[in-house]
A and B are shown apart, each in its own frame.
Chain A
């Protein structure tokens, strides 16, 4: 069969049979660790609450900020969410993971608050890639034209960065540039890349919480990653045309 190309994808995702992109997960149920947290929370165990807060507060906050005007209001929405968690944990049925359940409470609170603030962001529009303009992962100038011996191939191929992720992370300036590139993304792309690549949520988790299709999620992730890669390449030194 084919030889393994240079730099095959990690986690073996490229080598498994591709699942249908539209199938939603049936595996969103509480982990054992989450079930223990649920029991402890029902007993009003403060450490369990503390653990859950440490785990999810940051993500809850950046998600809330998509819907409300200010950081302070986002903090309020998150606080109301935690209260909602305490009030509702008794009736949590385990039909979804605890995480999904908590974040759904947040989404409800955030949308209610957005409505009260008079913001009308129809939820379906907020994460719809079709609402965004045309997109190219790479500047078209980097490719050859459609005619000639190597149509649509690299004119200025990229070079490997020669720096490991660890080395990239060591530089505060590099980290800052990456974060800045993420900040500059449209909100729905910013949210998806943050949840998937920084918070390391699974695709299913993102789709379940945001209520979007896997396809939409993938398109947003694609655009976000492409834009950030581009910004990082510009910063680290992109290939220049000779002459």
Chain B
């Protein structure tokens, strides 16, 4: 057997991990141990390294944030529920996002923070179109165009669908009441025409020309909740978290919608303010109709 080679300190520090991992040949290991026996500096270096590794063992990672955990459990439950129902969940209709289910009459705020999330929201309509529902793209022009384009990319024959009255693109109005009345009329026409369900994907024109002032849009949102409660309709309002003022996200998004979707997870919304209370609060607010 060949004599183990004498090792220098410079060499040892480069081989130390291999040594600790048991990756040295018997000869190499002998070299290391012989050197360690006679070298206080290297013995101290080894001790430091071992101490470091043990210290790292003691560094625990941040446990999963409680709200994140809740979201994942919610996802789990939706998944299990959808699966149990196989094709359908009695009394529910598919949201089209994350395998989740909603009830006719639901009014949801969909908070999106990336283009990918926005895109995922459009599945709410595509799943409806596949199922024969009457689908409305409602909002300001650029947003409507974006949604239509995303539907087109999914292979939807836009012109035929519009021609058949299965897909409708609707713009805003300077009056909240007029918007509400218009949508009501259009919904009823679709239902009378035999549509099993009406779906609306909204991108409201907050702060835009030819749209009402914020307070009137808030009123509109609140009234939609009431208006569709007993109708075979589901309304999803897209909230652009990156661009909208915080107050709109809070009051428009969180206070007027009984359900929310965030990171594509559907949840009941504890911040929802009952319609009558919300409208009363709006009425009490004096001053200009831009949200203070």
Contact = CB atoms under 8 A, between A and B. Distances in A.
Interface of A: 2-3, 5-10, 13-14, 16-19, 21, 44, 46, 49-50, 53-54, 57-59, 62, 72-73, 75-76, 79, 82-83, 86, 136-138, 140, 143, 151-154, 157-161, 163-166, 168-169, 175, 178-179, 193, 197-200, 203, 214, 218, 221-222, 225-226, 228-229, 232-233
A95 to B, nearest CB: 24
B35 to A, nearest CB: 8
Contacts of A50: 69, 73
B183 interface: no
25 contacts: A7-B50, A9-B50, A13-B21, A49-B72, A53-B64, A53-B69, A54-B63, A57-B64, A57-B68, A58-B64, A73-B114, A75-B68, A86-B76, A137-B13, A157-B41, A165-B55, A169-B59, A197-B53, A197-B56, A198-B56, A218-B17, A218-B23, A222-B14, A225-B53, A229-B49
Nearest to A113: B116
Given A16-B22, A79-B72, A153 B9 contact: yes
A222 B83 CA distance: 47
Contacts of A75: 68, 263
Contacts of A5: 33, 36-37, 43, 46
A169 B50 contact: no
SS of B interface (majority)? helix
Interface stretch (B24-32, B139-147, B220-228, B267-275): B24-32
A226 to B, nearest CB: 7
A42 to B, nearest CB: 11
Given A5-B43, A14-B29, A229-B49, A178 B73 contact: no
Given A18-B25, A161-B48, A232-B48, 5 more contacts: A7-B47, A14-B32, A46-B77, A53-B69, A152-B9
B54 A165 contact: yes
A169 B52 contact: no
Contacts of B32: 14
Contacts, number: 199
A17 B76 CA distance: 47
Given A157-B44, A229-B49, A58 B63 contact: yes
B51 A164 contact: yes
B290 interface: no
A197 B57 contact: yes
